[in-house]
């Protein structure tokens, strides 16, 4: 599973998804920053981690959990190819964008293009 495939999967469901540094300004509606994270190769299998950074307007915190669950349900449609490996991180207020944020870590395995004959 690639970054682009995850991006399309989420945007097709109506989520606003950005790459790192792409979103500008204050958080007025919920959005996701999709980040390609750690990659590990063992023999010819590559484990690729992705982090979904969820941002939610600070004045609507009571609805944040529901939004998180909605994202997890949509991502679960990619199971078993994509697995949630580290559930939501502690919530914190990002004063710069006036949003609460948390992260979800997902892992996918694919055949590596290196370490092969």
pLDDT digits (tens, 9 = 90+) for 62-113: 999 999 999 999 999 999 999 999 888 899 999 999 999 999 999 998 777 7
Do residues 29 and 57 touch, judged by C-beta distance below 8 A?
yes
3-111: CATH, from 2.40.10.10, 3.30.70.1700, 3.40.50.150, 3.90.440.10: 3.30.70.1700
Let me know if 21 is exposed, middle or buried by CB neighbors in 10 A (0-12, 13-18, 19+): exposed
Give the pLDDT score at 98.
97
Which residues, in sequence order, are CB contacts of 54 under 8 Å at separation 6+? 30, 32, 67, 68, 71, 101, 102, 103, 104
Give the pLDDT score at 73.
97
Per domain, the residue ranges of the chain are 3-111
Give the pLDDT score at 116.
64
Query: Measured between alpha carbons, how far is 56 from 61 in angstroms, rounded to an integer?
Result: 7
pTM score, whole prediction: 0.90
Confidence of residue 117 (pLDDT cuts 50, 70, 90): low
Name the nearest CA neighbour of 75 among 8, 2, 19, 9. 9
């Amino acid at each position: 599973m690639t970054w682009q495939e995850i991006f399309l999967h989420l945007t097709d469901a109506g989520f606003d998804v950005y790459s790192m540094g792409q979103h500008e300004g204050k958080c007025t509606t919920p959005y996701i920053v999709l980040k390609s994270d750690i990659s590990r190769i063992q023999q010819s299998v590559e484990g690729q981690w992705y982090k979904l950074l969820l941002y939610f307007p600070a004045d609507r915190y009571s609805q944040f959990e529901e939004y998180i669950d909605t994202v997890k349900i949509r991502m679960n449609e990619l199971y078993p190819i994509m697995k949630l490996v580290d559930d939501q991180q502690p919530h914190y207020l990002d004063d710069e964008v006036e949003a609460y944020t948390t992260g979800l870590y997902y892992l996918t395995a694919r055949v590596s293009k290196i370490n092969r004959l």
